[in-house]
Amino acid sequence: MVIIMRDFPSCFGENGVQVADSSSPSAAKASQNLVTCVYQCKLQGRSCLITVTWTKNLMGQGLGVSIDDSANQCLCKVDIKPWLFSKRKGSKNLDVDSGKVDICWDLSNARFGSGPEPVEGFYLAVAFDREMVLLLGDLKKEAYKKIGITTPLDSDAVFIARREHVFGKKFYVAKAQFCDKGLIHDVVIECDTVDLKDPYLVIRIDSKTVMQVKRLKWKFRGNHTILVDGLPVEVFWDVHNWLFGNATGNSVFMFRTCVSSEKSWTGQSAFDPSVFSQKLRDHQVQGLGFSLLLYAWKQE
């Protein structure tokens, strides 16, 4: 099965931040090894969003790349199905806007951590008319050679959003880079809702407590601003499923850098899809920072 998040930039789409279907435990298992990253790039001088989706299941590794313009119209998309991924290198050539897009990858010697993303020993490159638009991985020379670029120039791609699924019983762990090329931080969400009269929520960055919510049954949705690397980061949470829903349900956490001084996401409407999704979409298109979206699933 190929799992491609067609509408992320759709934590920017119409259902982007709705809590996932909690009625199916198999949905949680299918989502466990899936990470989606969004990069803001330039294509012929115009802003575009490139979405890279890494997947892993029993059939093997999978990869999806899609390019959307600033109006969220898909310009092109490539899906590499897991069962075809035994040949872990290849390329696709696509005609877009009177030019040619080259998508090349080599994961034949890639090393992976616990998730579906490669850690080192790989490259994934997107070029337009032999101009590098996005380059991921440490095998940069090989990528430029594959595309036929004789004068390597770094792309101006900016990492703007990440979405992933995390699992745990009380602790949920992820890594986050709150600004492009910034420090990588350990994010730990602690939430114990089992047999407690007063459940609580604690968030730590690099082992330091940055946020604590008591009386969680009254404050199961909300937002709070923390400081990371001297930058204000807004944290939004929705733990309704954990407290009042199905035991297999997930909760949602959003970390968003506050580059803009506008404070328009306040109150209970923060996780109203009709409000939240459009504001997030506008926020990213304008290049106003980084967003991390975590779907946290409880394991029995």
CA 43-48-51 angle, to 5 degrees, is 115
pLDDT at 286 exceeding the cut of 60: no
What's the pLDDT tens digit per position in 76-97? 999 988 776 667 889 999 988 7
pLDDT for residue 258:
73
Q: Which has more pLDDT, 235 or 197?
A: 235
Sheet holding 231-238, edge to edge: 74-80, 60-69, 46-57, 34-43, 158-168, 291-298, 250-257, 231-238, 221-228
The SS3 assignment for 20 reads coil
Q: Which has more pLDDT, 39 or 286?
A: 39
The lowest-confidence range among 18-22, 138-142, 201-205, 255-259 is 18-22
pLDDT for residue 32:
57
Looking only at the bridges linking them, the beta strands covering 99-106 and 185-192 are unpaired
Q: pTM value?
A: 0.79
pLDDT for residue 153:
78
pLDDT at 70 exceeding the cut of 90: no
What is the chain's mean pLDDT, rounded?
79
Please state, as a whole number, how many other Cβ atoms lie within 10 Å of the Cβ of residue 170.
12
For 55, phi and psi rounded to 5 degrees? -130, 160
The lowest-confidence range among 9-23, 71-85, 224-238, 253-267 is 9-23
> Which of 25-34, 243-252, 254-263, 272-281 has the highest average model confidence (pLDDT)?
243-252
pLDDT at 205 exceeding the cut of 50: yes
Q: Tokens 């779907």, residue?
A: 295
What's the pLDDT tens digit per position in 96-124? 877 899 999 999 999 988 788 999 999 99
pLDDT at 279 exceeding the cut of 50: no
pLDDT for residue 267:
37
| CA dist., res. 170 & res. 185, Å (int) | 20
